[in-house]
Structures are given as structure tokens and as C-alpha cells.
Amino acid sequence: MPQLTRLPSPCLRPYVRLMWASAPAPAPAERPGAREHVLPTGGMHLVFRLAGPPLRLFRNDADTHGYTVGYAMVGGTRCAFFVRDVSVETRSVGVMLQPGAARALLGAPEDALAECHTPLEALWGADAGFALEQLHGTDSLARQLAILDALLSARLSASAMHGLHPAVAHALAGLSGAGGSPKAGAIRELVKQSGYSHRRFIALFRGMTGIAPKQYARMLRFDRVIGQFALDPTQPWVELALDAGYSDQAHFSREFLAITGMSPEAYRRAAPTSSRHVRV
């Protein structure tokens, strides 16, 4: 599937991590009943479907009916996989958001949107339909990205420009600097450095990222494993796990199953071409 990625314009970079657009192959084959596990990235996504059916999700692998989200939606920060219908290839354009971007661009805090998909109309009203119309006006992936960049820049200019809270920015830097594997007591130290009570700090962090600091660190650690595995799929899981900071292989296997819905070896056998999209 052809895909184009790019950085957003400079004014959007504090809020948007990456922009992407994809199109199906010239003669895409239908795959009746095909599904995939979409693994969490630790961030939020804004997505517009421009061809094919609306996004259809399943509550779990046993769900035979599923439910429809729509053609424009926000995927909130998650701590585990979700299951989606991939029986028909689609044309889509979207962005991955930075922590703290939701209030400025969507009008809601991250924790209100976490662990679920929200139709964009619920946040933007009629502007969601206008954005879809604009994006439908061209088949050029580069032009679609330019249109979306302009739409988000306009919303940013019209917003109250809420940015990342300094205490949360400091904590995110500390967690990232620890490689996603903070030592015992590190989060308590971040709370202490913030000057806020533990309860207030956790609420601030959730409001900017959608998840708690421990969950965020867990996503960073998982991301490190998946990233290293993608570079060399022959590497033993135990080496990747210990290098990322898991206490032992059993700890790693439990967390991997909880996050992906499959064992590490089942993931290896699936051999996904995209590390976070695993056909099941």
C-alpha cells in the first residue's frame, strides 16, 4: 500500500508528531472477514478515511458483529491493542499527535478520549464534515497532507493555544531519558520535583497524555522492544526484553500478551510487515 509521511509545518510541530497519507493498490483484493490487531503507540491519532467503508472495530477477538465508528475519528491513547476490520483496503490520511495537543486541536483533554475511538463530529461538529470534503477534493497524497496541515494550523490559530504543562513536560523528558525503564522510585521523584501532590500530578499527566506515568513508561518500554525487533526479527526475545528493562522473560511475556493480545512467538510467526498492524 503506497504511503507518504512528512513532518508538519513548524507551527504544528509542538502538537503533531507525524503526518501520513496512504492509498490502496491499483486493484486491491477484498479479504472477507480479515481483521488485525492494532498495537498501541503511546499517543493519539486523528484519521480521515477517504475511500472504502467506515472504520469498523470489534470489542475483542470473539466479537462477531463489531461496531462502526465513521469516516473521521480520533483514536485515543491506549495501553493495549484494538481489533479492526481490514477486509477492504482504504485510502486514509491522518496525524499522530504529541502529548498535550488534544485540547488545542480537538477541544478536549487526552484523558477524556483515552482507550477509545471518538467520531470527530463529536468534537468538531460540522467542521468534521467540511474537513472530509476538503480532503476528498484530491487523490494526491502530498496534496491531502497539505490540506490537513492547513486545516490543523487554522484550528490552532483559533484555539486558546493550550500547551504542554511544564511539570508534565519535565516528567516526559525524564521518562524518555530513562529509556522507558525508570528505576524504582523514579516516578515518585518526578512527582516530588513537580511541586504538586501525587494526586494532582497524576491528574495533570493523564490530562496531557491520556494515561498515568507508569502506563506511559510501560508503553515506552514496549516500544523499545518492538523497534529493536523490527530491525532484526531473528533476535531472541529474552535479550530484547532484558535490554529494555523487563525484570525477566515471564514479566515480558505477560506484558506482551496484555498489550498485543498474543504471545511473543505468535507475533514472530505473524511476521507483520508493519510492526503495529498484525493480521489475525
Q: Report residue 26: phi and psi, to 5°.
A: -55, -35
CA 22 to chain centre: 16
pTM above 0.85, yes or no: yes
pLDDT of residue 176: 83
90 shares a domain with 8: yes
Please report, for the domain that includes residue 260, its CATH number. 1.10.10.60
Which cell is 244 given? 529494555
Q: Are 35 and 88 in contact (CB under 8 A)?
A: no
What whole-number distance in Å separates Cα of residue 266 and Cα of residue 220?
Answer: 21
Residue 185, domain member (yes or no):
yes
Query: What digits encode the pLDDT tens for the residues 9-27?
Result: 999 999 999 999 999 877 6
- In 3D space, the residue among 195, 205, 211 whose CA is nearest the CA of residue 173 turns out to be 205
Q: For residue 67, which phi and psi values (nearest 5 degrees)? A: -150, 155
CA angle 19, 219, 228 (to 5 degrees): 80
How many domains does the chain fold into? Answer: 2
How far is the C-alpha of 33 from the C-alpha of 65, rounded, in Å? 11
Residue at 279 is within a domain: no
User: Domain boundary residue among 158, 187, 211?
Assistant: 158
Question: Has residue 133 been placed in a domain?
Answer: yes
Residue that finishes a domain, picked among 135, 158, 181: 158
DSSP type of residue 40: P
pLDDT at 25: 76
Q: How far apart are CA 106 and CA 156, in angstroms?
A: 9
Residues 222 and 98 in one domain: no
Domain residue limits at 81: 3-158
What is residue 182's predicted lDDT score, i.e. its pLDDT?
61
- Please count the residues of the chain: 280
Q: Please name the residues in contact with 239: beta carbons below 8 A apart, sequence gap of 6 or more.
A: none
Please list the ranges in the chain whose pLDDT falls under 70.
1, 27-28, 160-161, 178-184
What pLDDT does 160 receive? 66
User: What is the per-residue pLDDT for 146?
Assistant: 98
**106 contacts 98 by C-beta, under 8 angstroms:** no
pLDDT at 113: 97
Give one DSSP letter per residue of 170-234, joined into a string: HHHHHHHHTTT-PPTTHHHHHHHHHTS-HHHHHHHHHHHHSS-HHHHHHHHHHHHHHHHHHH-TT
Query: What would the grid cell of residue 106 be?
Result: 480537538
Residues 24, 1: contact at Cβ < 8 Å? yes
> Does residue 280 form part of some domain?
no
Instruction: Give 144: exposed, middle or buried? Use CB within 10 Å, 0-12, 13-18, 19+.
Output: buried
